[in-house]
């Protein structure tokens, strides 16, 4: 079977999947669409299964096609791991690292980690993608990213957490907001007279908030739902209402000087932690391991400077 999965035809097939059409893939490959179709047909014959289904003007992978895609990506990852390891032995400092992170980590990551790492590794390139919790988990699990930074990942045997930091969800408001004078931790019911901002359900923060709402039997008056942590902070800074978010996600220029964080009474809002994760069992390149070390050390130091409540 290994001989039948000829590398050239497999790459043609992956390009069709990537482009969503045979013609689009043929254009990128600079080849005749009919020749590309014949190559895919030969691959389907070798596999003994139809790999593509027509969908509108394009194509999508069948169940069999998805298996072939997964196999190819695993094989490519194994090849890349081998090349990375050999390259690390020979050059030491070259390579590429893919990071996926929640937006709330970007300011801290760039300021406290990447500035030093990039200066010391001029030949290492980095891709940093900002994603939701669900997307970060998917990217780490399918090994399309090396390192993930996120709030409260779900329990998943495919994920390995290297370090975590308490990240209680607080209500951030202007210092002049009526809630700022409230004595003691807030119940969710205390927020009901005011308008709030929160994240989409694909974020771990929102999932914790909804669990807390169920436990207290309340439904918050949410005015703004967004996938941007910056938008949450700016919503509160405008005096429009409150933003429920962990400390790390509040833009540094707004913390303390403009916005204050009010602790919440519900224990579900205090359980969350920020994690640095990778794929369990995945062999990271030397450069990725060094960056991971920088991140874990910086987060450990950060844990001693950021209050838990």
Tens-place pLDDT, residues 180-193: 888 889 999 999 99
Among 32-36, 123-127, 217-221, the minimum mean pLDDT is found in 123-127
State the pLDDT at residue 90.
Answer: 54
Q: Can you tell me the distance from the alpha carbon of 241 to that of 92, in angstroms, rounded to the nearest whole number? A: 51
Give rounded-to-5 percent helix, strand, coil for the chain: 45, 20, 30
Among 86-100, 105-119, 168-182, 291-305, the minimum mean pLDDT is found in 86-100
Structure tokens at 227: 């996938």
| Maximal CA-CA distance, the chain | 73
Q: Can you tell me the distance from the alpha carbon of 274 to that of 256, in angstroms, rounded to the nearest whole number? A: 21
Q: How far is CA 245 from CA 181, 226, 292, in A?
A: 19, 12, 25
Compute the average pLDDT of residues 229-244. Answer: 89
**Domain segments of the chain: what residues?**
7-71, 94-166+273-303, 169-269
Whether the Cβ atoms of residue 95 and residue 286 lie closer than 8 Å to each other: yes
Decide: pTM greater than 0.75: no
CATH fold of 94-166+273-303, please?
A: D-Maltodextrin-Binding Protein; domain 2 (3.40.190)
Residue 248 in this model has a pLDDT that exceeds 90 = no
**Residue of 158 and 79 predicted with greater confidence:** 158
**For the stretch 232-255, what's the b/e string if a residue is b when 16 or more beta carbons lie within 10 angstroms of its beta carbon?**
bbbbbbeebbbbbbbbbbbbeebe
Whether the Cβ atoms of residue 280 and residue 146 lie closer than 8 Å to each other: no
CATH architecture of 169-269: 3-Layer(aba) Sandwich (3.40)
pLDDT range class, residue 1, cuts 50, 70, 90 = very low
pLDDT range class, residue 307, cuts 50, 70, 90 = very low
Q: Supply the CATH classification number for the domain 7-71.
A: 1.10.10.10
Q: Can you tell me the distance from the alpha carbon of 231 to that of 209, in angstroms, rounded to the nearest whole number? A: 17
Q: Which residue has the tokens 């640095």?
A: 276
State the pLDDT at residue 87.
Answer: 66
Q: Can you tell me the distance from the alpha carbon of 275 to that of 194, in angstroms, rounded to the nearest whole number? A: 31
**94-166+273-303 and 169-269 in the same fold:** yes
DSSP 8-state assignment for residue 187: P
Crossing angle between the packed helical segments 204-216 and 133-141, to the nearest 10 degrees: 130
Q: Which residue has the tokens 């308490």?
A: 166
Q: Can you tell me the distance from the alpha carbon of 284 to that of 24, in angstroms, rounded to the nearest whole number? A: 33
DSSP 99-164: EEE-GGGHHHHIIIIIHHHHHH-TTEEEEEEE--HHHHHHHHHTTS-SEEEEESPPP-TTEEEEEE
């Amino acid at each position: 079977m290994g001989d039948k999965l000829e590398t050239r035809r497999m790459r043609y097939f992956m390009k069709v999947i990537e482009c969503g059409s045979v013609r689009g893939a043929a254009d990128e490959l600079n080849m005749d669409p009919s020749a590309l179709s014949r190559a895919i047909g030969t691959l389907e014959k070798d596999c003994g299964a139809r790999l593509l289904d027509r969908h509108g003007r394009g194509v999508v992978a069948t169940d069999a096609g998805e298996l072939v895609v997964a196999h190819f990506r695993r094989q490519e990852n194994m090849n890349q791991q081998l090349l990375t390891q050999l390259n690390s032995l020979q050059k030491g400092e070259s390579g590429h690292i893919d990071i996926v992170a929640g937006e709330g980590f970007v300011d801290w990551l760039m300021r406290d980690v990447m500035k030093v790492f990039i200066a010391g590794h001029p030949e290492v390139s980095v891709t940093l993608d900002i994603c939701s919790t669900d997307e970060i988990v998917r990217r780490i699990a399918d090994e399309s990213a090396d390192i993930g930074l996120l709030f409260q990942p779900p329990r998943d045997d495919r994920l390995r957490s290297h370090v975590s930091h308490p990240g209680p969800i607080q209500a951030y408001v202007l210092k002049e907001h009526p809630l700022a004078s409230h004595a003691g931790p807030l119940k969710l019911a205390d927020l009901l007279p005011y308008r709030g901002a929160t994240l989409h359900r694909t974020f771990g923060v929102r999932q914790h908030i909804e669990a807390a709402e169920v436990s207290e039997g309340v439904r918050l008056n949410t005015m703004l739902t967004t996938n941007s942590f910056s938008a949450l902070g700016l919503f509160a800074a405008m005096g429009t209402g409150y933003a429920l978010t962990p400390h790390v996600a509040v833009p540094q220029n707004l913390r303390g000087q403009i916005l204050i964080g009010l602790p919440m009474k519900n224990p579900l809002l205090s359980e969350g932690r920020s994690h640095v994760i990778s794929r369990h069992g995945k062999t990271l390149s030397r450069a990725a391991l060094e960056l991971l070390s920088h991140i874990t050390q910086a987060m450990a130091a950060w844990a001693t400077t950021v209050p838990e409540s």
